[in-house]
Amino acid sequence: MSLTSVPLSEQIRIVFFGLRNTGKSSLMNNIFEKDLVIVSDTPGTTTDPVTRSMELGKLGPVAFTDTAGFDDAGELGSERIKKSLERINSSDISILVTRSDTPATKEEIAFIDEIRSKERPLIIASTYSDRPKNAEKTKLFRDLNLVYIDNIKKTGIEELKDKLVSLSSAVIREITPVEGLVDEKDLVILVTPIDSAAPKGRLILPQVETIRDLLDKECAILVLKERELKYFYDKLTIKPRLIITDSQVFTKVAADIPEDQALTSFSILFARKKGDLAYYIEGIKSLNSIKKGAKILVIESCSHRKQEEDIGTVKIPRLYRQIIDSTATFEFAHALPEAEKLKEYSLAINCAGCMVTRNVMINRINVLKENGVPCVNYGLFLAWANGLLPRAIERFPREYEIYRQG
């Protein structure tokens, strides 16, 4: 898969953090050998995070992000700091950019402690290395992954890249969509509806990633629409190892295949890949105990033009009101609200998360857990609503047992 076809959600995230005017933007420009970010002696030049991608050895496709300084000033500065620090939760490798000629600040020390608490890889990029080094800071950082950088002479850049590549084994990578579900030479059917919600001239990201994963695993793939499934299935001389369908046509697909045919959905695959499938299963088990008139939060990770039968804003709320509680109210968001607001919700319903990293989804899940809010994802909810649980999770033994225990 070429770099241009690797979405940001599948790239290793490398994020620059640090105080203002420590050389973060200059370092970003030097790594890419072009002027990507405006560089100025004026504090606070970098406002919103800037992200660019490249291939980096064993790390593969990576995305570098330059952030605003976490000592930014004023009300707007506080918002920039908040946005920058949010990147901690999505970063796979963090780079603290700090001047070698100044003492360590409390913000820098607190940042290092934060990264260590999350057990994430950290590199210290010590800039202005042509100047006399601060002895106290040198001693403080000597046991860390320390690289000295001179942005003017452009020294230390290759050493930094080598250091990043050396951390490849420390990066926790996402599993692939069908990892552990198929073997070489298996036949897998993918049911991909082409309706008003489908993107013009292309497949949606989970479908594309699943196709590539199956090809990498030396499987045969039959891709078709739901209307053609029964016709081609009945003509097969070998039984498919698995059928993976778009969640919105679960009922149609299940009706057209034998009951003993393994079946799941793209959304369920991504619930496992991006999030915590077991936690979502617990959320499914809580559906019948949610109080009447509850407030439900639907979280869509990406922005897209809403169709008449949009799955998150139309289909799922309608099904919930039909099956569980007609008096429930729904609110829609692209991110979690503050804790006090979050406690108002009795349930969260997550999209598949295909456009964000696993780090982002796991952080979201941890916040929901801390606030006692159960959560399901689109695919699992639709499987449950259509009476296809536990069948749709039979290929996941741990989660299957969790569901059966309920």
Check residue 4 and give its pLDDT. Answer: 44
Give the least confident one: 53-67, 84-98, 173-187: 84-98
Q: Which residues pair with 15 in a beta bridge?
A: 65, 94
Averaged over 266-288, what is the pLDDT? 95
Give the least confident one: 94-103, 192-201, 202-211, 252-261: 192-201
Percent pLDDT > 70 in the chain is: 88
**Confidence check: pLDDT of 186 > 50:** yes
Dump strand ranges (E) for 107-215. Answer: 122-127, 145-148, 187-191
Averaged over 294-315, what is the pLDDT? 82
Comparing C-alpha atoms, which of 297, 318, 303, 265 is closest to residue 375?
297
Topology of the domain comprising 187-268: Rossmann fold (3.40.50)
**Confidence check: pLDDT of 82 > 90:** no
**Confidence check: pLDDT of 89 > 90:** no
**Confidence check: pLDDT of 358 > 60:** yes
The sign of the CA dihedral 376, 382, 385, 390 is negative
Check residue 7 and give its pLDDT. Answer: 79
* 313 and 332 Cβ atoms separated by less than 8 Å: yes
Q: How confident is the model at residue 153 (pLDDT cuts 50, 70, 90)?
A: very high
Query: What's the whole-number average pLDDT of the chain?
Result: 89
Rounded Cα distance between 14 and 247, Å, is 33
Check if CATH label 3.40.1190.20 holds for domain 276-405.
Answer: no
270 token code pair: 């991504």
Q: How confident is the model at residue 354 (pLDDT cuts 50, 70, 90)?
A: confident
Domain spanning 3-170: CATH superfamily:
P-loop containing nucleotide triphosphate hydrolases (3.40.50.300)
Q: How confident is the model at residue 3 (pLDDT cuts 50, 70, 90)?
A: very low
Q: Confirm whether 3-170 and 187-268 share one CATH topology.
A: yes
Averaged over 175-189, what is the pLDDT? 97
Helix (H) or strand (E) holding 156: none
**Confidence check: pLDDT of 140 > 50:** yes
**Confidence check: pLDDT of 75 > 60:** no
**Confidence check: pLDDT of 1 > 50:** no
Asked if omega into 390 is within 30° of 0 (cis), the reply is: yes
**Confidence check: pLDDT of 393 > 90:** yes
Check residue 172 and give its pLDDT. Answer: 86
Rounded Cα distance between 94 and 112, Å, is 10
Comparing C-alpha atoms, which of 182, 202, 203, 177 is closest to residue 268?
177
Q: Domain ranges for the chain, please list them.
A: 3-170, 187-268, 276-405
37-55 confidence digits (pLDDT tens): 555 555 555 555 788 999 9
Check residue 72 and give its pLDDT. Answer: 62
Q: How confident is the model at residue 195 (pLDDT cuts 50, 70, 90)?
A: low
Check residue 332 and give its pLDDT. Answer: 95
Give the least confident one: 94-98, 192-196, 215-219, 282-286: 192-196
Averaged over 305-317, what is the pLDDT? 81
Check residue 2 and give its pLDDT. Answer: 43
Check residue 406 and give its pLDDT. Answer: 67
**Confidence check: pLDDT of 32 > 50:** yes
Averaged over 270-298, what is the pLDDT? 95
Token pair 């209307």 in the structure block, residue: 227
Burial classification of residue 97, based on how many CB atoms lie within 10 Å of its CB (0-12 exposed, 13-18 middle, 19 or more buried): buried
**Confidence check: pLDDT of 380 > 70:** yes
Check residue 194 and give its pLDDT. Answer: 82
Using DSSP, state whether 123 is helix, strand or coil: strand
